[in-house]
Structures are given as C-alpha cells and as structure tokens.
Amino acid sequence: MVSFLWLALWQVAGATPAPGMTCGVGAPLVIEKQVLKGVGQQRAFVLWMCNADAHESDFDPEAYTCPDQTMGHYYQGRTFVSLIDLQNSRVINTVAVVGEWSQEQTFYVPYKIRGYFYHVDGPLDKNNEGKPKLLWLKEYNGDGEALEFALFDAYNCTIVETTLFGYSKSRDRVIQYPIHLIQHEGATVTVRDSPWLDRFMLQKPIKPGLWKWQYQYHKGGLTHFELRFNAAKEMFEGEVVIDAERDSTPPRPN
C-alpha cells in the first residue's frame, strides 16, 4: 500500500527519515536527500547519520588547511547512504560510509564549507562559506548516466582520498564502487582492494571508462595510475606503477 502521507512529508521536510532508518539509540539525522531521475522507478538517495556531533570549527576562514577543505564545519558520527523506494515508503538498502584512514564506521560530513571539493552554490556567508550539495549527482564511471556522487577526505595536502557511490540499475541498489588495484613497485607486486583512492574522482577520463594519470608523492619519482570501469562487475580495476627512483617516503598507506 502506498503511503501518500509519508511521501508528501518526505518531499517537503528535509529532516524526515524514512521508515527503516534507525540508529538503535537516538534519532537519525537526515543530512540530505536526492530524487533519482531517469531510472524508471521512484527512487531517492538519503545521506544520514547516527549519534551525530556538530563541530563548529574555529579555524581562520582565510586559512583553510587541506583537511579543512573537505571537512569544513562538520558533523561526526556513523554515516550511511540509503536507497529509498518512494512509492512504497521503504528503505531498499543501506551502505555505511567508512573512512579510509580510521577504518571505523564514522565519517566527517560538512554542513558548512567553502567550495574546494564539494559543490556549494549559496547563499554564502561573509566568509564565502555555504551549505554543500553532497549528493551532487554526476556521470563519473563512464556509463553515460548522472547517477553517482563522490565523497572526499583530505588527510593532508598530498593525499585526498575519494570514493564513489551510485545507483545500480541491474540490482536496484545503492552501491559504493569497489576499486581493485595491482601495484608494482620494482619487483614487488601488491594487491589493493578498497573503495577509496587518492585523487581518483578528481581526474578526468581520457575516454569514457578509462583513466590515466601520474602524481609525484616524493622527490625523484612518479606514481602512475591506470584504471578502467568494469561495467559487468560494477567496479573499477587497474594498475599502479611506482617508479624505482624515489626516496624512502611511501607514496600512500596500504
């Protein structure tokens, strides 16, 4: 049975959680929601948190550090992305947002920030800060459909971890796209599986579904990346080659 009352409330009330979005202790905080277009069904993404603590950062707004550029003023807590069936007012599935660095089920979600990495279209305050559009749907993976959004986590001024969420039409699910990498460093070969990768979502593909770039993490050598989107597996696959001529500083944590 369609819950028309709940659907109407959800469409107009930004903080209305869907049935099935529960925290165990405390009420969920809905950060943002976005209706999907062109999928043939009434679907929406919801970004929400449990046990969210608000942090009004006291940094100088004229001197954003590199981590501040992805955090700004932020909520910290357990963070989730859900796919909602709007017609039947139910949660189809939920994916936890787990940061690459802590490996804990927490994340820093900006609620006011300058537009370094996230889209901010105003209104802006006197410090040129505003509310970010986190579920800013774009075409990232080369499939031609704007049904994905990226999250960012700057560890320092060298490494900006990025990850991609999107809608799987074949599975009718929200997914966080896996990334499978084979890393070559001289004679050493390492396999790395993680949905996070430094600067990946900031790169422009050389053609749909194919990315190649290089980055100098240290003096004397380059790290070369080549990735492809495997549409059948709904994941990214590729190789990383680290130049042999380098200093002892590791290019990134594994």
Q: Judge whether residue 74 has pLDDT over 70.
A: yes
**Which tokens in the block code for residue 240?**
């990383």
State whether 128 and 37 are in the same domain.
yes
- Is the domain of 115 the same as that of 99? yes
Tokens of 119: 């889209």
Question: What's the whole-model pTM score?
Answer: 0.88
β-pair type (235-242, 179-185): parallel
Are 254 and 199 within one domain?
yes
Please check whether residues 141 and 70 belong to one and the same domain.
yes
Asked whether residue 182 carries a pLDDT value surpassing 80, the answer given is yes
Judge if 139 and 84 occupy the same domain: yes
pLDDT band at 2 (very low <50, low <70, confident <90, very high): very low
Beta bridge partners of 149: 165
**DSSP 8-state class, residue 98:** -
Cβ(54)–Cβ(64) below 8 Å: no
What span, in angstroms and rounded, lies between the C-alpha atoms of 91 and 46? 10
Ranking 6-15, 18-27, 38-47, 77-86 by mean pLDDT, the lowest is 6-15
* Same domain (yes/no): 101, 198: no
Characterise 69 by phi-psi region: left (phi > 0), alpha (psi -120 to 50), beta (else).
alpha
> Which residues touch 2 (CB under 8 Å, ≥6 apart)?
87, 88, 89
Give me the long-range contacts of 92-101 (CB less than 8 A, separation at least 24).
Answer: 92/43, 92/172, 92/173, 92/174, 93/173, 93/174, 94/21, 94/174, 95/165, 95/174, 95/175, 95/176, 97/151, 97/176, 99/153, 99/161, 100/153, 100/161, 100/163, 100/194, 100/196, 101/153, 101/155, 101/161
- Please tell me whether residues 218 and 243 are part of one structural domain: yes
Alpha-carbon gap, residue 179 to 33, rounded angstroms: 26
Last residue in a domain, options 152, 170, 188 = 170
Q: In which domain, by residue range, is 253 found?
A: 178-254
Strands of 12-106 (E only): list them.
29-35, 43-55, 73-85, 90-97
- Of 117, 147, 170, the position where a domain reaches its end is 170
Average pLDDT, rounded, for the chain: 88
| The pLDDT of residue 10 is above 60 | no
Q: How many domains does the chain have?
A: 2
Q: Are residues 196 and 243 in the same domain?
A: yes
* 120 and 137 belong to one structural domain: yes
Over range 80-102, report the average pLDDT: 90
**83 with 114, same domain?**
yes
Q: Are residues 182 and 65 located together in one domain of the fold?
A: no
Burial class for 197, CB neighbours closer than 10 Å (0-12, 13-18, 19+): buried
Is the C-alpha dihedral spanning 49, 55, 56, 61 positive or negative? negative
- For the chain, what's the residue count? 254
Q: What does the alpha-carbon distance between residue 103 and residue 96 come to, in Å, rounded to a whole number? A: 11
Indicate if 151 and 102 belong to the same structural domain: yes
